[in-house]
């Protein structure tokens, strides 16, 4: 097959499997074997308003700065005498009462960026705000400790930067059967039939066969393991819940996947925030409750830790459109059966001591959360992945 024809014919395959464009796919040997613990990462994309999620309902400044979008005290789900949750988060309050939820407040990073794209990149790569990195922190985890692409799976049709390493990247799929069907397509098989062509080399894309073969192998592994588990029907009827249902099927199958990632979008609430956030938080909480219940029924929840973050918070003062603009620090939810410190990990930041832009000041660097999860949950050297040492927290 001529080089030009090969490039043309293999474009579909490379799009389907999001293979990395590096020759070193199989060169690195895992430093440490993968264990049994799973990490689930959920992003609330768009910048969820943390101040209307974890609410200082006894703070007069909160109501003064948000005269029309604040959550009234009689609607708040109270956690203690001063702090409560948005009324859509009743299912999360159940997890809180069972000791399965930790809320880390005032999470951010120095010199915050208020661009969705850039701040998301910062959270996904674990970089400084002035640093640009081409690999994600989960991707670097795979580089150092992974063996196969399916060691990390994103429930989506495209792979996020978080999941991309230099030598090995995760797999993106919404459906095990659809991924497998694509790998068995005759067109894809025809391309793979040239893998032993003696004329192929590193210079004419011979290396791509290696990653395509690995992708096909991953598709088989995911499909045949997922077949062992029937999806639960006990989920809400929405797209995010369907993602979690697929994720639970993968987890309950027992396959060797360490990290799962998914996202729920729509949180960029510059206008009409109350109605939009109400619907989205309800979708998140009800779907998460069903997900946890599913894992518990299959006895896999005890080995699963769930991290929920958003790329930035919102401005403390509401805008003229009954919404909020891009802010800085925010809260992070940790859900699991092995929490060392349940409930409110720390207090909310002061609303009378904001930064120059009118945003909540960060207290906890988000990378300390990553470092803690890597070291204490995934039990690997966090400095290898994060490229520097960060403080360890006490939530697990």
If you write DSSP's letter for every residue of 84-143 in order, what string do you get? EE-GGGHHHHHHHHTT-EEEEEEEE-SS----HHHHHHHHHHT--TT---SS-HHHHHHH
Higher pLDDT residue, 226 or 128? 128
Share of the chain above pLDDT 90, in %: 74
Could you tell me the CA-to-CA distances from 121 to 64, 297, 312 in Å, in that order?
34, 35, 12
Give the span between the Cα atoms of 198 and 166, in whole angstroms. Answer: 27
Q: Residue 212: name the closest of 193, 192, 198 by CA.
A: 192
What superfamily does domain 35-176+234-386 belong to in CATH?
Answer: Alkaline Phosphatase, subunit A (3.40.720.10)
Give the span between the Cα atoms of 80 and 197, in whole angstroms. Answer: 68
Q: Taking residues 360-376, what's their average pLDDT?
A: 98
Chain mean pLDDT for the chain? 87
Q: Taking residues 94-99, what's their average pLDDT?
A: 97
Condensed to tens digits (0 to 9), the pLDDT of residues 317-363 reads 999 999 999 999 999 999 999 999 999 999 999 999 999 999 999 99
> 379: phi > 0 → left, psi -120 to 50 → alpha, else beta; which?
left
Q: What is the pLDDT of residue 271?
A: 98
Contact indicator for 137, 370 with CB cutoff of 8 Å:
yes
Report DSSP state, residue 40. E
| Cβ atoms within 10 Å, residue 113 | 18
| Cβ atoms within 10 Å, residue 197 | 13
Residue 179, Cβ density class (10 Å: 0-12 exposed, 13-18 middle, ≥19 buried) = buried
Q: Residue 17: name the closest of 211, 226, 175 by CA.
A: 211
Give the span between the Cα atoms of 378 and 386, in whole angstroms. Answer: 14
Contact indicator for 326, 315 with CB cutoff of 8 Å:
yes
In DSSP terms, 264 is beta-bridged to 44
From 161-165, 231-235, 263-267, the region with the lowest mean pLDDT: 231-235
Domain map (residue ranges) of the chain = 35-176+234-386
Q: What is the pLDDT of residue 178?
A: 75
Type and span of the H or E element at 239: helix 239-252
Give the span between the Cα atoms of 315 and 43, in whole angstroms. Answer: 19
Confidence of residue 28 (pLDDT cuts 50, 70, 90): very low
Give the span between the Cα atoms of 69 and 86, in whole angstroms. Answer: 12
From 23-37, 139-153, 164-178, 211-225, the region with the lowest mean pLDDT: 23-37
Answer whether residue 184 shows pLDDT above 80.
Answer: no
Condensed to tens digits (0 to 9), the pLDDT of residues 46-66 reads 999 999 999 999 999 999 999
In DSSP terms, 330 is beta-bridged to 107
């Amino acid at each position: 097959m001529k080089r030009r024809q090969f490039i043309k014919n293999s474009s579909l395959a490379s799009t389907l499997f999001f293979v990395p464009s590096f020759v070193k796919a199989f060169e690195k040997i895992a430093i440490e074997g993968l264990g049994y613990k799973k990490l689930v990462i959920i992003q609330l994309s768009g910048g969820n308003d943390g101040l209307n999620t974890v609410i200082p309902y006894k703070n007069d400044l909160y109501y003064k700065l948000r005269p029309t979008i604040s959550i009234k005290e009689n609607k708040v789900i109270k956690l203690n005498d001063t702090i409560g949750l948005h009324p859509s988060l009743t299912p999360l309050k159940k997890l809180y009462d069972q000791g399965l939820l930790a809320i880390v407040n005032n999470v951010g990073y120095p010199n915050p960026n208020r661009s969705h794209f850039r701040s998301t990149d910062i959270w996904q790569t674990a970089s400084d705000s002035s640093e640009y990195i081409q690999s994600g922190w989960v991707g670097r985890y795979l580089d150092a400790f992974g063996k196969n692409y399916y060691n990390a799976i994103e429930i989506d049709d495209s792979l996020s930067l978080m999941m991309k390493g230099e030598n090995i990247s995760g797999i993106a799929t919404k459906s095990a059967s659809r991924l497998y069907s694509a790998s068995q397509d005759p067109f894809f098989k025809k391309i793979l039939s040239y893998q032993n062509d003696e004329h192929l080399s590193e210079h004419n894309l011979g290396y791509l066969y290696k990653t395509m073969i690995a992708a096909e192998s991953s598709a088989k592994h995911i499909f045949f393991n997922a077949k062992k588990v029937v999806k639960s029907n006990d989920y809400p009827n929405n797209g995010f819940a369907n993602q979690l249902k697929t994720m639970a099927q993968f987890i309950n199958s027992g396959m060797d996947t360490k990290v799962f990632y998914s996202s729920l979008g729509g949180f960029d609430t510059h206008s009409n925030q109350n109605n939009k956030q109400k619907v989205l938080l309800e979708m998140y909480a009800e779907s998460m409750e069903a997900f946890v219940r599913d894992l518990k029924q299959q006895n896999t929840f005890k080995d699963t830790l769930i991290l929920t973050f958003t790329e930035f918070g919102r401005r403390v003062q509401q805008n003229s459109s009954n919404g909020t603009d891009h802010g800085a620090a925010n809260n992070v939810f940790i859900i699991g059966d092995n929490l060392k410190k349940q409930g409110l990990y720390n207090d909310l930041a002061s609303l009378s001591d904001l930064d120059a832009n009118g945003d909540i000041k960060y207290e906890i660097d988000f990378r300390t959360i990553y470092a803690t999860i890597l070291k204490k949950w995934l039990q690997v050297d966090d400095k290898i992945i994060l490229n520097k040492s960060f403080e360890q927290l006490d939530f697990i």
